[in-house]
């Protein structure tokens, strides 16, 4: 079938979403990037890129998006980041294309709306409620014991997520969210509060092939450390077996979440904790996972997540899909700086490049740049990607990365 003149739209290609352009073009389609913001908040701006696309169109609303692609032969609309969820499903519905149900789009975009939907559908979830500084100052009873987690209802990368031990801590956390005047961050100025859940954190990448068809593509564990009241400073992200009993139980829970919020079309990424009481969702990201995970899945299994997701949104989803076989596993080292300062250099690059499992590295800072100490995923100063058949080699090499690869600050 000829695809000449047929367009695939990707909304807000950020991080892993930047690669869509080249894969869309390789399949013979016209790759159009629809960008909804003049500036993305914080380091997301550095992770935004449209170099691989044939055409870039800037819009600020759903109505502008409809007008901008009127007359184009659009065959798919794909979310390239979290911000895309604001219009993606509604634009697809307007065009009569594959997408998730519009009535539940807020449950896939907003963390608080997701929790409310899961409660309604009987899926185990830690309850949450919206709270403002004014409400807390007026004596609002939280109704749950400390510690609590305060975080924006929208946003990504654990930005402004705090563990609070008191009402004073809670007020400071709410103030940080409500006073976020960074360009592009207006939608992240509302907060939710929930009880803090103990336990290790994981994510599962799911291929949603329709309401009745889902398959696990990746199961991975986070190694996070707490720095002060910042609970989510990422250190390592490791893939683990997707066919273990633990993986099967976790995927059953994740599938219930996806079914409840009607995430039926496309590849998504769900983060959750596991403890003796069960599985507890943290957030659902209605797009490909970030941190180069799709490319790492391909290197470890041969499965091209971009190709698969483009096909799903084109309406060409396979009726069934086997669990990918991991010949190798990956570890992503998220580089942490414990201090602020001006970058004057980086030590240890040569040593890291000679590690048995070394695959690639990427830095998000430049010489002469003034940086803050790492406090969340988006303030990490770079990544080192490791791939190997032996998980113990990955663990050993990851420790070497963190010990030897250092910023030199003035």
Confidence band of 110 (pLDDT split at 50, 70, 90): very high
User: Residue 340: inside a domain, yes or no?
Assistant: yes
Other Cβ atoms less than 10 A from the Cβ of 101: the count is: 16
Contact call for residues 259 and 184 (beta carbons, < 8 A): no
**For residue 362, is pLDDT > 90?**
yes
The candidate with the shortest Cα–Cα distance to 48, out of 187, 156, 191, is 156
Q: Can you read off the two tokens belonging to residue 300?
A: 């470890």
Rounded CA-CA distance 329/282 in Å is 24
CB neighbours of residue 340 within 10 Å? 11
21 — pLDDT class (breaks 50, 70, 90)? very high
**pLDDT tens by residue, 247-282:** 999 999 999 999 999 999 999 999 999 999 999 999
Residue 115 lies in a domain: no
> d(Cα 131, Cα 151) in Å, to the nearest integer?
10
CATH of residue 89: 3.40.50.20
pLDDT at 170 over 80: yes
Report pLDDT for 377.
80
Q: Taking the mean position of all CA atoms in its chain, how far away is CA 295?
A: 14
- 405 and 343 assigned to the same domain: yes
Measured CA to CA, the distance from residue 182 to residue 139 in angstroms comes to 29
- 22 lies in the same domain as 88: yes
Structural domain includes residue 92: yes
Angle between helices 111-120 and 245-260 in degrees, nearest 10: 100
The residue out of 151, 172, 195 marking a domain boundary is: 195
Judge whether 269 lies within some domain.
Answer: no
234 domain-assigned: no
List, in sequence order, every residue forming a beta bridge with 151; answer none if it has no partner: 192
* Co-location of 13 and 90 in the same domain: yes
What mean pLDDT is predicted for residues 67-79? 96
360 and 407 fall within a common domain: yes
pLDDT at 280: 96
Domain closes at, from 171, 195, 219: 195
Rounded to an integer, the average pLDDT of 362-388 is 91
CATH number at residue 146: 3.30.1490.20
Residues 84 and 66: their CA atoms lie apart, in Å, by 14
Dist CA 53 CA 58 (whole Å): 13
Q: What pLDDT score does 344 carry?
A: 96
The pLDDT of residue 3 = 66
Average the pLDDT over each of 232-236, 249-253, 273-277, 299-303 and give the range with the smallest value.
232-236
pLDDT at 338: 87
Whether pLDDT at 188 is above 80: no
pLDDT band at residue 185 using 50, 70 and 90 as cut-offs:
very low
pLDDT bin (cut points 50, 70, 90) of residue 379 is confident
pTM, 2 dp: 0.93
Which of 154-158, 301-305, 358-362, 406-410 has the lowest average pLDDT?
Answer: 154-158
Is residue 386 domain-resident?
yes
**What's the distance, CA 166 to chain centroid?**
29
Mean pLDDT of 59-67: 96
Residue 242 confidence class, pLDDT cut points 50, 70, 90? very high
Flag whether 176 is in a domain. yes
Domain count along the chain: 3
Percent share of the chain, pLDDT over 90: 77
> Could you report the per-residue pLDDT of 124-164, keeping only the tens digit for each?
999 899 999 999 988 888 888 999 999 998 876 667 888 89
Does a structural domain hold residue 343? yes
Token pair listed for 358: 């070394």
Q: Are residues 11 and 93 in the same domain?
A: yes
CATH number at residue 349: 3.90.1170.60
Boundary residue ending a domain (176, 195, 214) = 195
Mean pLDDT, all residues of the chain: 92
Range of the domain at 367: 328-410
Does residue 182 have a pLDDT over 60? no
Q: Which helix (H) or strand (E) holds 163?
A: strand 162-164
pLDDT at residue 62, rounded to an integer: 96
Q: Are the C-beta atoms of 131 and 148 separated by less than 8 Å?
A: no
Q: Above 90 in pLDDT, residue 35?
A: yes
């Amino acid at each position: 079938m000829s695809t000449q003149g047929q367009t695939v739209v990707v909304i807000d290609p950020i991080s892993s979403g930047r690669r869509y352009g080249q894969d869309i073009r390789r399949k013979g389609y016209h790759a159009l990037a629809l960008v909804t913001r003049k500036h993305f908040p914080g380091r997301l701006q550095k992770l935004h890129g449209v170099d691989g696309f044939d055409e870039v169109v800037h819009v600020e609303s759903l109505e502008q998006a409809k007008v901008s692609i009127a007359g184009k032969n659009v065959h798919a609309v794909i979310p390239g980041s979290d911000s895309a969820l604001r219009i993606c499903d509604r634009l697809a519905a307007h065009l009569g294309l594959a997408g998730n149900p519009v009535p539940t789009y807020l449950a896939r975009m907003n963390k608080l709306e997701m929790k409310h939907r899961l409660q309604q559908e009987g899926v185990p979830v830690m309850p949450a409620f919206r709270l403002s500084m004014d409400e807390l100052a007026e004596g609002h009873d939280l109704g749950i014991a400390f510690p609590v987690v305060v975080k924006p209802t929208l946003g990504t990368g654990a930005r402004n997520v705090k563990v609070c031990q008191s009402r004073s801590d809670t007020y400071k956390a709410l103030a940080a969210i409500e006073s976020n005047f960074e360009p592009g961050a207006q939608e992240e100025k509302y907060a939710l509060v929930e009880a803090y859940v103990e336990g290790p954190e994981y994510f599962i990448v799911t291929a949603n092939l329709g309401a009745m068809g889902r398959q696990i593509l990746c199961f991975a564990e986070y190694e996070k450390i707490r720095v002060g009241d910042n609970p989510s400073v990422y250190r390592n992200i490791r893939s683990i077996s997707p066919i273990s009993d633990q993986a099967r139980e976790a995927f059953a829970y994740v599938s219930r979440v996806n079914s409840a919020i009607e995430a039926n079309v496309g590849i998504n990424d769900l983060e959750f904790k596991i403890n003796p009481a069960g599985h507890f969702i943290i957030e659902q990201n209605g797009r490909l996972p970030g941190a180069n995970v799709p490319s790492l899945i391909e290197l470890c299994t041969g499965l091209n997540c971009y190709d698969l997701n483009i096909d799903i949104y084109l309406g060409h989803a396979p009726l069934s899909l086997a669990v990918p076989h991991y010949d190798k596993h990956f570890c992503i080292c998220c580089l942490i700086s414990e201090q602020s300062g001006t970058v004057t250099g980086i030590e240890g690059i040569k040593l890291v490049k000679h590690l048995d499992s070394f695959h690639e590295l990427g830095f998000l800072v430049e010489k002469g740049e003034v940086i803050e100490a790492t406090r969340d995923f988006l303030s990490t100063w770079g990544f080192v990607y490791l791939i190997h058949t032996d998980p113990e080699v990955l663990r050993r090499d990851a420790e070497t990365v963190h010990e030897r690869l250092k910023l030199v600050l003035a």
